[in-house]
Amino acid sequence: MDLPLSDFRQMAVEEFDTSKLLRHAAKQAQERGYRNFPIVDVDSHHYESESIGEILEYMDDPVLRQLALSAKQANAKSVGVLPAGVGYQDMGGRVTRYPLRRLEKTEAGVQRDIALTRRWMDAIGIDIAVMFPTPMLQLGLHPQVEVEVALARAYNRWLTERVLAHEPRIRSMLYLPFNDADASFRMVQEFGAAKGVVGFMVTSARYRPVHHNSYMRTYALLEEMGLPIAFHAGYNWDDRMVGLMNRFIAVHALGFAFYNMVHLANWITNGLPERFPKLKVLWIEGGLAWIPFMMQRFDNEYMMRSSEAPALKKPPSEYMREMYFSSQPMEMTDMAALEQTFRMIKAETQLLYSSDYPHWDFDLPSTIYDLPFLSEQAKRNILGGNAIRLFNLKLPAKKLATVA
Amino acid sequence: MAEIFVAKIAQFADGERRIVTDGKREIGVFHWRGAYYAYENLCLHQGGPACEGLLMHKVEDVIAPDRTWAGQRFSDCEIHFVCPWHGYEYDLKTGECAADRRLKLKRFEVLRRGEDLYVISD
């Protein structure tokens, strides 16, 4: 494969191997002794678009399935039914695993997502990874609600049957087709007890308010089943406000925080933590810097305007400290600010390490392990212990990842 | 001090690179426009193989005399190598991180000995 460069040159690449790309990560795992404690990654990804043919076999609606299969063949640019927004996650190919991943060879007889995921988990030292899709993170923006529902169910069936059933190191919080509240409820009923399912996930880039009454029975069911709900951040360059920004760096930096901020604001001010006190809520892939802002902003206004959030019995930040947050992409340029953030979110019990691998801004466990202000116990909690508790994971004593 | 063999000069084309090791660490050696440059193959960010990514000229904004934006171009002279893990860019001629030049990769001397090229590791 020839990668286009900044002049007449191209970079010729013949092969790609995740283990080789991540050999420095494997060295970090060895040097830091990750063999001695479990590491759980609560947000990682695969590219379900590469398996869309298989996934569509699980789609019940014959008309939609035919439409999707046809679009897959006719449209070389994308798979047709998945919304493909403008964006440059690969930085013009600078993050080479984006274009090169198609060159990677996997062993025969092992499902490709399983083979690739095991490979990077072992290199990084991760025992359990919670896996999410990639293009489907935009599916909440699909103009046809029925397509979101049909694709979500097909994907969830495919994932549970083809992946989760065969590799206990891979878990998932399944996709909730949140634009249809009834379908979301049915999805929890149908898949909530399936092997490898540790909760359900709402893609945040969408335009439905989380406090709408139609969702209450789904939250109640999740609470009853002891399954967490996660909101996975995303961007939408077609949003009018985001569209004011012409550089992807700005779209990504603000976009990935923005939707989660809106949903969290609604979650708190409508008193959902009081209505569902045992429902565990996880906010994924917004980084951490936005959380102290929300805490201070909402505490300050709440003290003056508590009549507008009358269900609350304490300041908003105290509810937020009972929620869970994934770590990546962790803002690491100001160590004092990061330490303050850890204190404010009670990181020792509420923060969950996430890699986001293989996406462009992935974080290794060393981003947590090397922090100078954490105790060894706090590091281990964040890297694994907190997730084990949240998801009620039963892990063997032996390290699952291959770490030298 | 150790001399690490890099390549036969005749077999190391302009625009190419080699990754060598002194047993403790990896060193990336670049041949660019007739000169050789060598840096530790370890990104200052999260430890990625910084010297193994794309060679890309610096992207520049073109600002007109009236300070309006007139487009973008690739620099004629400033070339970067890009860490493939996360996109950190380094100036190939100095090893400085393009985003913050106070950060620099460890640099190694390159030595020509006859038809062979070596780096000197400390």
Residues B4-58 have pLDDT tens digits of 999 999 999 999 999 999 999 999 999 999 999 999 999 999 999 999 999 999 9
Domains of chain B: 2-121 (2.102.10.10)
Residues A322-366 have pLDDT tens digits of 999 999 999 999 999 999 999 999 999 999 999 999 999 999 999
The mean of the pLDDT values for chain A is 95
Mean pLDDT of B84-104: 98
Query: Which are the contacts of B95, defined by CB distance < 8 A and separation ≥ 6?
Result: B37, B39, B104, B105, B106, B107
Residue A32 within any structural domain of the chain: no
3-state secondary structure of A92: coil
Mean pLDDT of A230-252: 95
Q: Which residue of B51, B86, B105 to mutate against A (max A Cβ within 10 Å)?
A: B86
H-type alpha helices, chain B: none
Distances (CA, A) of A351 to A169, A263, A322, B30, B32: 21, 19, 10, 41, 45
Nearest to A316 by CA among A334, A331, A296, A333: A296
Residue A27 within any structural domain of the chain: no
Mean pLDDT of A24-52: 96
Residue A3: pLDDT above 90?
A: no
- Tell me the backbone φ, ψ of residue A25, rounded to 5 degrees: -65, -40
* Closest residue in chain B to residue A96, using alpha carbons only: B84
Residues A146-201 have pLDDT tens digits of 999 999 999 999 999 999 999 999 999 999 999 999 999 999 999 999 999 999 99
B87 and A97 within 8 Å at the Cβ level: the answer is no
Say what the pLDDT of residue A77 is.
Answer: 54
Q: How many distinct structural domains can be found in chain A?
A: 1
A95 and B56 within 8 Å at the Cβ level: the answer is no
Residue A132 within any structural domain of the chain: yes
Distances (CA, A) of A145 to A206, A240, A260, B12: 11, 21, 21, 57
The CATH number for A324's domain is: 3.20.20.140
Residue A10 within any structural domain of the chain: no
Residue A212: pLDDT above 80?
A: yes
Q: Which residues of B touch A363 (CB under 8 A)?
A: 46
Distances (CA, A) of B18 to B5, B33, B50, B92: 10, 15, 12, 14
Residue A312 within any structural domain of the chain: yes
pTM above 0.80, yes or no: yes
Separation of alpha carbons A114 and A119, rounded Å: 8
Residue A283: pLDDT above 90?
A: yes
Residue A144 within any structural domain of the chain: yes
Residue A313 within any structural domain of the chain: yes
Say what the pLDDT of residue A294 is.
Answer: 98
Domain that holds residue A182: 41-48+85-391
**Tokens at residue A10, please?**
């191209």
Residue A294 within any structural domain of the chain: yes
Mean pLDDT of A39-67: 94
Q: Which residues of A touch B79 (CB under 8 A)?
A: 6
Q: Which residues of A touch B87 (CB under 8 A)?
A: 91, 94-95, 360
* Closest residue in chain B to residue A91, using alpha carbons only: B87
Say what the pLDDT of residue A199 is.
Answer: 98
Say what the pLDDT of residue A153 is.
Answer: 98
> Shortest Cα distance from B112 to chain A (angstroms)?
26
Name the residue facing B57 among A6, A11, A96 (closest C-beta).
A6
Q: Which residues of B touch A356 (CB under 8 A)?
A: none
* Residue pairs spanning A and B at CB distance below 8 A: 56
